Amino acid sequence: MQTKRLLLIVVLFSFLFSAIPQAATVMESINYISNSKDFVEVKPAVGLAINLKYATVDNFVGQNLYKEFNKAYLHIVAAEKLAKAVVLLQAIKPQYKLVIFDALRPRSVQFLLWNNVKGTSRQGYVANPRTGSIHNFGMAVDLSLLNADGVELDMGTKFDDFTELSQPQFEEKFIKAGRLSKEQVENRLLLRKVMVEAGFIQLPLEWWHFDALPKAEVKSTYKIVE
């Protein structure tokens, strides 16, 4: 009886995983987004710069994962909130810019990222593509700030630094320990201020990551981009 029960469980899990659609190719993702009214391309503008890290080799994988997918797209809900954040920043620091490191990320690319961290200490920082990242819905954006000279503000760590030093929840602890300066945290707080006031939600694990809507709402309401 126990053997039959175990066999049934194995068969059930196999069915569930086989029922999950595999990610599309990058070109299929581009075609889908281009033909959808739900997404818009985010372009450089006053107060906004684009530097897609996964479309370069300047990322933790050291590879260009995006290939032809080299434009920043967001769901219109997230894009509208980003536009508000730009306006808010211009009102406070007109010489500064938001710089986008990552926006909509097709699930095809999520698989590539996952394969690079699976089974490592970094696994907790990358969403399993089978359930999907909020980036895969075009509802998340990774970004930082540029000063008047176009130089990134010092945030205490680089983008995709998968350590506790990057986590907003530990900032006070690291200030006391002397591992983060007040200026570094103030830079983070400025970024957080304009993003949160624009309607975004700060991810507790990464100072650069903001969601346009709660995770549960995104996954229950919107369609993932394969």
Question: Domain map of the chain by residue range?
Answer: 22-221
Instruction: Express each pLDDT in 66-84 by its tens digit.
Output: 988 999 999 999 999 999 9
Cβ atoms of 110 and 133 within 8 Å: the answer is yes
Spatial distance between the Cα atoms of 83 and 181, rounded to a whole number of angstroms: 30
User: Which has the minimum average pLDDT: 15-29, 88-102, 131-145?
Assistant: 15-29
- Per-residue model confidence (pLDDT) at position 24: 75
pLDDT band at 144 (very low <50, low <70, confident <90, very high): very high
15-24: long-range pairs with CB below 8 Å, 24+: 17/130, 20/130, 21/226, 22/226, 23/106, 23/107, 23/108, 23/109, 23/110, 23/111, 23/129, 23/226, 24/106, 24/107, 24/108, 24/226
Average pLDDT along the chain: 89
For position 11, what pLDDT does the model report? 34
CA-wise closest residue to 149 among 218, 97, 209, 204: 97
Per-residue model confidence (pLDDT) at position 46? 96
Strands 201-202, 209-211: pairing kind: antiparallel
Q: Does domain 22-221 have CATH number 3.30.1380.10?
A: yes
Tokens of 166: 């990057």
Verdict on whether the full-model pTM lies above 0.85: yes
Average pLDDT of the segment spanning 170-183: 97
> Do you know the residue count of the chain?
226
Using DSSP's 3-state secondary structure scheme, residue 58 falls into coil
Q: Which residue has the higher pLDDT, 162 or 155?
A: 155
Residue 172 annotated among the catalytic residues of the structure: no
Asked if 160 and 172 touch (Cβ cutoff 8 Å), the reply is no
Q: Which residue is it, tokens 């530990």?
A: 170
Q: Cβ-count burial of 205 within 10 angstroms (0-12 exposed, 13-18 middle, 19+ buried)?
A: middle
Residue 164 Cα distances to 30, 92, 116, 144, 195, angstroms: 34, 29, 20, 18, 21
Mean pLDDT of 94-113: 94
Indicate the SS3 state at residue 132. coil
Mean per-residue pLDDT, 8-23: 38
Structure tokens at 219: 């996954």
CA neighbor of 144 nearest in space, from 129, 165, 160: 160
Alpha carbon distances (Å) from 16 to 24, 75, 137? 19, 28, 21
Q: Which amino acid is at 135?
A: H
Whole-number Å distance between alpha carbons of 108 and 67: 12
Q: Can you tell me the mean pLDDT for 191-211? A: 97
Of 100 and 127, the one with more pLDDT: 100
- The tokens of 85 are what? 């954040």
Give the model's confidence band at 23: pLDDT under 50 very low, under 70 low, under 90 confident, else very high.
Answer: low
* Tokens of residue 113, six digits: 């990222």
Given a cut of 90, whether residue 44 has pLDDT beyond it is yes
Q: Please pick, among 28, 80, 206, 217, the residue that the annotation labels catalytic.
A: 206
